[in-house]
Amino acid sequence: MVAISGDTIVEIVTTVFVLSTMFSMGLKLSITQLVGALRDRQLLTKSLVVNLVAVPLVAYLLVQTVPVGPAYATGFLLLAVSPGAPFGPKFAEISDSDIAFASGLMAILCLLSVVTIPVSLVALAPGDVVVDAVAIGRMVLQI
């Protein structure tokens, strides 16, 4: 009998959760609904600024203020500069919010993160952090 590690179980459960949530959202929304929801330029701009600028900046200021080791600081910044969690639309559904907007925003953030993650890490990460934009792009796009 082969023992399965806790990491493997978490990875499988997370993948199933994300895929099932996205599949569920996809069945509920049409392309027209997604595009229509993203036509609110003011809300879209505010959402992008919060995800791509405000959260990484607050994390950077927190890391500069609270004494933590470089590994912890880098990990915290990695989380902060990675915009848009795949469970955002599920949270929108639970809170009875605009699922179409949350799904569209998640898709836009996923595409933008290929550029914004490396740029943010170069600008904010402590020490000599090496950023491989191609590897990040492959990971985000699952290539």
Query: 57-75 pLDDT, tens per residue?
Result: 999 999 889 988 888 888 8
> Which ranges of 29-83 does DSSP label H, i.e. alpha helix?
31-37, 41-49, 55-65, 70-81
- Domain of residue 31: give its range: 6-141
Overall number of domains in the chain: 1
Q: Is residue 94 part of a domain?
A: yes
Rounded CA separation 32/107 (Å): 14
pLDDT in tens, 82-131: 887 667 777 777 888 887 888 888 878 877 888 888 888 878 876 666 77
Q: Is residue 1 part of a domain?
A: no
Q: Is residue 34 part of a domain?
A: yes
